[in-house]
Amino acid sequence: MFENTVKNQLASKFNNTTQLSQHLSKSIFIFSVGNNDYINTYFGFLQTRRRFNPQQFAKLLIDTLSQQLQKLYNLGARKMVIFELGPIGCIPSIVRSSKSNNGRCDDEKNQMVSLFNTQLASLLSNLTLTLQDSHFAWGNGTFSCIPQLTPCLVPDEHYFWDGYHLTQATCSVIASRCISGSDLCLPMNIQQLVQA
């Protein structure tokens, strides 16, 4: 889809491909990927868990992400922020479905997701070193959560507004810390990425 947008829509907005490439190289691309791959595909389908152990599934996702990020690079993207997966075992829908945890986070699912996060950090470091003039920042997704049993009546006072989705207030905190903070987007925040 992005390739189509670049070639068929953005290209007509610039005088030549050099101008388009320069524009894309200055743009910042932000991604949050993998949550649904785990929630819907790995945790949702027994045949997926039979086919892939947790390490194999994490590697499959990382390999696929690597290919996609390299495609974006080849289209002109140079500055990218990719968020790691948060503690999926703590989202309300998972907490509710884990009967044995008495309303607490499912640590087993969080451990599975941590395999992806560890590989993500290595992938982004490697891509920054191997793809000329690229800058990949890693967004830390392991902030704490408060599972809710029903959708929140006042979502700005909670992390989640339903069983899966972060509230606007939570997203605002994450965005602010990623834009100018020093603890969420690494090795540089978005302000630093703009200057890179």
Question: pLDDT at position 25, please?
Answer: 93
Question: pLDDT at position 145, please?
Answer: 40
In a domain, 91, yes or no: yes
**Is it the case that residue 102 has pLDDT exceeding 50?**
yes
pLDDT tens digits for 114-150? 999 999 999 999 999 999 999 998 887 654 444 444 4
Neighbours of 116 (CB within 10 A): 26
Structure token digits, residue 105:
């986070």
The residue count of the chain comes to 196
196: amino acid identity, one letter: A
In a domain, 142, yes or no: yes
In a domain, 21, yes or no: no
pLDDT tens digits for 19-48? 998 999 999 998 888 888 898 899 888 889
In a domain, 146, yes or no: yes
Burial status of residue 25 (CB atoms within 10 A of its CB: 0-12, 13-18, 19 or more) = middle
Given 3-state DSSP classes, what are the helix, strand and coil percentages for the chain, each rounded to the nearest 5? Answer: 60, 10, 30
In a domain, 99, yes or no: yes
11-15, 148-152, 165-169, 176-180: the lowest-pLDDT one: 148-152
Which CA distances in Å does 73 have to 36, 125, 140, 166?
Answer: 24, 15, 22, 29
* Percentage above 70 pLDDT, the chain: 87
Whole-model pTM? 0.78
In a domain, 102, yes or no: yes
Mean pLDDT, range 162-190, rounded to an integer: 78
In a domain, 57, yes or no: yes
Residue in 26, 35, 52 with CA at minimum distance from that of residue 139: 35
Q: How many domains does the chain have?
A: 1
Domain that holds residue 51: 2-13+33-195
Angstrom distance (rounded) from CA 28 to CA 190: 8
In a domain, 23, yes or no: no
DSSP, collapsed to helix, strand or coil, labels residue 21 as: helix
Residue 31 bridge partners (DSSP)? 82
